[in-house]
Chain A
Amino acid sequence: MKKRKLTLTQILVGIVGVIIAILFTLPMLWFVFAPFNSSVSLSVAIPERFTLENFVVAFSSEVAMRGLLVNSVIIGGGTMVGTAIIAAMAAYGISRGNLPGRQIFTTVLILFSSVVTGTASMIPIFLLIFSLGLIDTHLGVILVMIGGLLPAAIFIVIDFVDGVPRSYEEAAMISGAGPLTLFRDITFPLIRPGLMVVGIWALVNAWGSFLTPFILLRDPLKVPASVAFYVFYDPEGTPNIKLVAAYAVLYTIPVVLLYLLVNWRYGFSFFGGIKR
């Protein structure tokens, strides 16, 4: 191998890079070690004495566990499925329907996606959900989440549907397939990578969403994990760091696992197009 001489600039860039990397790694390290530490502070330290007691305490909170194992799963799963199904149908319609002004329409979609679940629209959303009688229901939260995620989701899925040549569907129609069979056998398998991306992305968004469930839900036993963190705060608003850290680990695991599973099983792709 050829010996490479490092210039001074390269060395300096390397050092700066390492420093930045350490800065970004520190919170993650804290996050990994703190839950197992019996005496937590805000500084990163390898625990002198490992303990699982923080988890035991976290598990014993009904609000926290219901939030994580029931409410977050319902809200996350509902948002994921709802977003993927509606986005698939809408994207299919837009892609195949030769909508005039489609380019503008899809651009506007993207703009709207940042508005719907934003802080600015919280009052009208609250009033809307209130008049629908959906305050303090999971359905209300799910609908608002889906509404916020759909524009971008549709935008992503359109590209996948566009990537499926019409002749595939026409060939299936001539082969004797009706609309549903056609979608199940041909279109759905071909746009599945796109629906995976959109579904996981919707789940992650719903899982991490704080403001919407915080405003729309009243009963502490209905709030998802993102809001249930508050049980580990004392009435003055000071967090119990040990428990927050332990709960944070539990809160992260499902999403990371799901991401790994989907990535391993199907792979992610953010744009359509079919390898023939």
Chain B
Amino acid sequence: MTLILENVHKAFGAVKAVNGFNLSVADGEFIALLGPSGCGKTTTLRIIAGLETLDEGRVVIAGKDVTELPPRDRDIAMVFQDYALYPHMSITDNIGYPLKVRGVSKADRDSRVAAVAGNLQIGNLLERRPSQLSGGQQQRVAVARAVVHHAQVFLFDEPLSNLDAKLRLEARAFLKHLQREVGITSIYVTHDQAEAMALADRIVVMQSGEIMQVGSPLEIYRRPANTFVASFIGNPPMNLLQCTVDTGQSIIQFAEELAIIRLPENSHNTIMNVKPHEQVTLGIRPEYISIRAEPSATTIPGKLYVIQNLGGEILVIARFGEQLLSIRMFQEETPELPEQVWLDLDFDHVFFYGANGQLLQ
């Protein structure tokens, strides 16, 4: 079902946890709320769930304004970070609880629990207690409890953060598959960008209670709307360099070190929106910088800092003035590089951000 958040505000004392949040989610869409700790993503999720009251704004689920409704009347399901499995109930009772509360008969309940549990490969655990299960199994039980009754919206609060790295990858694939299969609108909170990129149809990047950017994973990676998203998404994130642009002569002058770049003829449109001599930030992803032995019109000087072989790709860190720049090379062998290198920027993939941090476009 569709979900609409309209101008949502929530403050805890003087701290604005969510500040003017607007989002419209299509039926069956998988949305990830992504951001650093304290950015308001969990608060937003709890507002959708009705676990947090809002100061201003509206929450609309399937065309119905649920802003004033308690959680139980919103027809939602949620997977908690700590799974919140009831320790005094068996797995069967845990999964069946939403059905029991809704007055589904015991026989009906048991057959639905068995079906869901079989689907999620936890059918052999039904007699146990949560404390007898591993983290991965508990996670599946929590998901089973969420899917057992057909809610209109699924909410996930960092459900994978308590799993170890290998299990997390498995659970990620499993969740994605499940969501495809069930096709229910889902909101997924995470601070792990890889998780958000892998799972979501659209990502909402948040900071200090505000939306920084909304877009598909690829849009957000390819075209960060501001310096925050640029420096948050990507591993390592985008390189950001302070500079001024002489638009008349197509010359870029860097603040960090005495270095000048003359733009190639075919790249003039990248500086179209830059005002003459405005302090701007140049952003470029590590994979669009290449290392040259000789300087050219589009290179800046760098001092080799460290080379990391990540297996399949090489990460070179070079010093430009006081700043460290990452350069990604897709090769297996660790390259032999001189101390002094020249970093060639690919101007087809360069962005300029204004003094307010927003993309100039």
Contact = CB atoms under 8 A, between A and B. Distances in A.
A and B co-occur in one complex? yes
B72 A167 contact: no
Contact of A175 (B50, B51, B82, B97): B97
Contacts of A189: 88
A173 B80 CA distance: 13
A190 B82 contact: no
B165 interface: no
Contacts of B101: 172, 175-177, 181, 185
A12 interface: no
Given A176-B102, A181-B101, A170 B130 contact: no
A174 B82 contact: no
Interface in A215-240: none
A178 interface: yes
B51 A170 contact: yes
A8 interface: no
A168 B72 contact: no
A167 B79 CA distance: 10
A46 interface: no
Most B-side CB within 10 Å, residue of A171, A177, A189, A276: A171
Contacts of B97: 172, 175, 185
A270 B166 CA distance: 40
B71 interface: yes
A170 B50 CA distance: 10
Interface string A165-204: 1011011111111100100011001100000000000000
B9 to A, nearest CB: 21
Contacts of B88: 189-190
A49 interface: no
Nearest to A167: B84
Interface string B122-141: 00000000110000000000
Contacts, number: 66
Interface string B274-296: 00000000000000000000000
Contacts of A171: 78, 80, 84, 86, 145
A275 B49 contact: no
B71 A168 contact: no
A170 B130 CA distance: 17
A123 interface: no
B51 A173 contact: yes
A238 to B, nearest CB: 55
A165 B145 contact: no
Interface size of B as a range: 20 to 34
Contact of A173 (B70, B145, B155): B70
Contacts of B80: 167, 170-171
B271 interface: no
A174 to B, nearest CB: 5
B77 interface: yes
Interface in B103-148: 130-131, 145
A253 interface: no
B98 interface: yes
Given A171-B78, A171-B80, A276 B102 contact: no
Interface in B74-102: 74, 76-78, 80-82, 84-88, 97-98, 101-102
Contacts of A175: 72, 77, 97-98, 101, 145
A175 B88 CA distance: 17
A187 to B, nearest CB: 10
A274 interface: yes
A25 B131 CA distance: 43
A171 B94 CA distance: 11
Q: Which of A167, A168, A176 has the most CB of B within 10 A?
A: A176
Contacts of A173: 50-51, 70-72
Given A171-B78, A173-B51, A174-B76, A190 B87 contact: yes
Interface in B316-342: none
Nearest to A164: B87
Contact of A167 (B77, B82, B155): B82
A244 B97 CA distance: 55
Interface of A: 165, 167-168, 170-178, 181, 185-186, 189-190, 274-276
21 contacts: A165-B82, A167-B81, A168-B86, A170-B84, A171-B80, A171-B86, A172-B86, A173-B71, A174-B49, A174-B71, A175-B72, A175-B77, A175-B98, A176-B101, A176-B102, A178-B70, A178-B72, A186-B86, A190-B87, A274-B87, A276-B130
Which 3 A/B pairs are nearest by Cβ-Cβ distance? A175-B98, A167-B84, A171-B84
Given A170-B49, A276-B85, 9 more contacts: A165-B82, A167-B84, A171-B86, A174-B77, A174-B78, A175-B101, A176-B98, A275-B87, A275-B131
